[in-house]
Chain A
Amino acid sequence: MWFHAVRTEESVRAEQPARVVRESPARVKARRLLGTTKEVFSRGSTAVGAVVIVLLLGMAIFAPLIMPANPRGAYQMPRDLSAVAVPPGTEGHLLGTTRMGGDVLYGIVWGARLSLQLSIYVVAGAVIIGIIVGSTAGIVGGKVDAVLMRIVDVFLSIPTLVFPLAIAAVLGPSFANIVVALAVIMWARYARIVRSQILQVREEDYVDAARAIGDSRFGIIRRDILPNSFTPVAVQATLDMGHAVLLGATLAFIGLAVAGQAEWGTLVSEGQADIIAGRWWTSTFPGLMVFLWALSFNLVGDGLRDALDPRTEGR
């Protein structure tokens, strides 16, 4: 009824508490971050993926504590000649040994450390190249932009397994060459992300403001543009942490890593010969680790993207 809508001065005062919340910017930031984190991990699959990632990273970081390093080289598979090709559950060899007497569990634990290194080097390399190329293209514009983006197009359209395979083959089998080969193929996506963010962000008022108060180009990139590109780059980097290990293990499986190393793909490859003898464990466990690694980073990456990118909502 109409008279209910009448507001006295007093009732208005009662409705609107004159309390002004004063919070430091740092606290507001922290609260927002917490909210986002909660949103990201509220989905079951993302949370599971995050837990698996923590476990895998723990295994990688604390590898020397879990399995004492092989004195002949930490990433070299140790050889226990008194227990060659024993099945899982044998005393001292929980997951069995290879036909060379290498402990499968040792390979898994130290393989995690190698995988962590591989993914960090590859993703860091790809992100750095991508940021340099992408921001150059976005800021300089014109012909430079056109040429750089054509190059990016080429790198996005070439095969993601065969090309690194050829690079690694030409450079010779080694861990470092696998890293180089993968970084060379992965940077293009970051270049595209950073460039498109720049094109978006530079139309914003606050960038105009920064320019107006005389900020240098480099300062604008560093303070305004890069922080805004952070989210899509972080999502892509999370996904690529998984892809890098998956592709790296595939290259190693084909034979481009150093033989006898505690590397998951190499172990699967060397375990191939065991299948016919019925020794399933030498290839099954290391391959399972590659799967878990790629799966957990994919789950978290997808979760991040869905939570942070409103465009993919509901998909």
Chain B
Amino acid sequence: MHRYIGRRLLGLPLVIIMVSVLVFALTRIGGTPIGPYLEPGMTDEEIAALEERFNLDEPLPMQYLAWLGGVVQGDLGWSAVAAAPVVDVFRQRIPASFELGAFAALWAVTLGVGLGTFAARRRNRMGDQVAGVMAVGGASMPTFWLGIVLLIIFWSYLGWFPHGRSSPEIWAGIPHPTGFYTIDALLAGSLAAMKDALWHLVLPALTLGYAAVGIVTRMMRSSLLEEMGKDYVDAARARGLPENLVVRRHARRNAFIPTITVIGLSIGIMFEGTVVVETIFGWPGLGSWMASSVLSGDQGTTLAFVIFTSVLFVTINMAVDVIYGYLDRRVVLRKT
């Protein structure tokens, strides 16, 4: 077990290095890396100093190593859009995205597990089919369109939910030690701020989580159906346990194990989804920053975001595998 984790941990940098090579190659296809730093009226010496900083006179592999060295030390470059170092903007914008992602994941997992259980218990009946349609619908739904339709209905027409992350006057009324609006509101003990935070979260979290609901529902349904056909479930029934208890205490706990894999997967998908969802809802997180950076050709930001997301993806995948191994004792984690 520990050897397996060690092996996976060793494999992690390999994947990350390969991603970084790809990303670095992209930067060089895109043009000179000193672009974002150039300003009109710079002297030749200043430009030469910039070129020196990026080791442009050295061969590409050396340039790559220099760049990688910077990344490892936390120098992700300069964001032209924010006119600040990429790392600073990351730090400032991460809480908004994580807060949104956490709420999206919360409702997606709760509903997905619930719907999956519901569907499995009503196999091939009406409820099952409705859940099935929802699951396929989730996989086919363009996130950008869902967000816009929700905005049209609940913001433009009904006026039930707001746009953006906060009402400025309420946001300004409390201190923000963590940057997570809901936690800050709790710390400040302000009910108005809490309500404001949650109110703004509803539509974007709903949009972001929808795709994952489908994935989780499907997996939960199929793994629960598989568990329900096993002998230990029959044994539990034969002992006279009520069906509800059999499902909840026995079958569902085991069915949950494979579902964890897809939950990890959906968290990665959700993180990507922030690019679209934050743009639509005017959410001041990493995703909307990425979208505007892409459009304005801000490569420093784009590439930092790609590296960050890739590392997140790979780490989540690994964490999920390890958790899976711990939970399901039948899985022997060894060399593949």
Contacts and interface: CB of A to CB of B under 8 A. Distances in A.
B310 A159 contact: yes
B95 to A, nearest CB: 20
Given A151-B18, A250-B143, A290-B142, A159 B272 contact: yes
Given A283-B145, A288-B145, A162 B140 contact: no
Contacts of B303: 166
Interface string B222-262: 10010000000000000000000000000000000000000
Interface string A124-164: 00000000000000000000000000110110011111110
Given A162-B272, A170-B26, A269-B144, 19 more contacts: A158-B19, A158-B22, A159-B268, A159-B306, A159-B310, A161-B275, A163-B306, A163-B310, A169-B295, A169-B302, A170-B299, A170-B302, A242-B140, A249-B142, A254-B294, A280-B156, A287-B142, A294-B139, A315-B222
A291 interface: yes
B26 A275 contact: no
A135 B148 CA distance: 43
A254 B275 contact: yes
A167 interface: yes
A278 interface: yes
B137 A295 contact: yes
Nearest to A252: B144
B70 to A, nearest CB: 18
6 contacts: A158-B310, A159-B306, A254-B279, A287-B149, A290-B145, A298-B140
Interface in B263-309: 268-269, 271-273, 275-276, 279-280, 290-291, 294-295, 297, 299, 302-303, 305-306, 309
B280 A284 contact: no
The 3 A-B residue pairs with the shortest CB-CB distance in the complex, in nearest-first order: A287-B145, A294-B140, A170-B30
Contacts of A269: 144
Contacts of B29: 170-171
A254 B148 contact: no
Nearest to A287: B145
Interface of B: 14-15, 18-19, 22-23, 26-27, 29-30, 132-133, 136-137, 139-145, 148-149, 151-152, 155-157, 222, 225, 268-269, 271-273, 275-276, 279-280, 290-291, 294-295, 297, 299, 302-303, 305-306, 309-310, 313-314, 317
A246 interface: yes
Nearest to A153: B15
B302 A284 contact: no
A162 B26 contact: no
A194 interface: no
A165 B303 CA distance: 10
B142 A278 contact: no
A265 interface: yes
Nearest to B145: A287
A235 interface: no
A40 interface: no
B275 A169 contact: no
Most buried by A among B23, B27, B142, B297: B142
A172 to B, nearest CB: 9
Interface of A: 45, 150-151, 153-154, 157-163, 165-167, 169-171, 242, 246, 249-250, 253-256, 265, 268-269, 271-272, 275-276, 278, 280, 283-284, 287-288, 290-291, 294-295, 298-299, 302, 314-315
Contact of A158 (B137, B145, B313): B313
A268 B145 contact: yes
Contacts of A315: 222, 225
A315 B291 CA distance: 38
B222 to A, nearest CB: 5
B272 A160 contact: yes
A290 B297 CA distance: 27
Contacts of B276: 161, 250, 253-254
A275 B276 CA distance: 17
Given A275-B152, A278-B156, A287-B148, A166 B140 contact: no
Contacts of A256: 294
B30 A291 contact: no
Contacts of A298: 136, 139-140
A250 B26 contact: no
Given A153-B15, A154-B15, A158-B19, A167 B309 contact: no
B14 to A, nearest CB: 7
B144 A268 contact: yes
A165 B148 contact: no
Contacts of A278: 156-157
Contact of A295 (B23, B26, B140, B313): B140
Contacts of A276: 156
Nearest to A297: B140
A246 B271 CA distance: 17
B290 A170 contact: no
A157 B148 contact: no
Given A163-B306, A280-B156, A291-B141, A275 B151 contact: yes
A162 B133 CA distance: 27
A298 B137 CA distance: 9
Given A162-B272, A272-B148, A157 B317 contact: yes
A275 B269 CA distance: 27
A265 B148 CA distance: 12
A284 B142 contact: no
Nearest to B294: A169
B270 to A, nearest CB: 11
A284 B137 CA distance: 16
Contacts of B141: 291, 294
B93 to A, nearest CB: 15
Nearest to A256: B294
Contacts of A157: 15, 310, 313-314, 317
Contacts of A288: 145
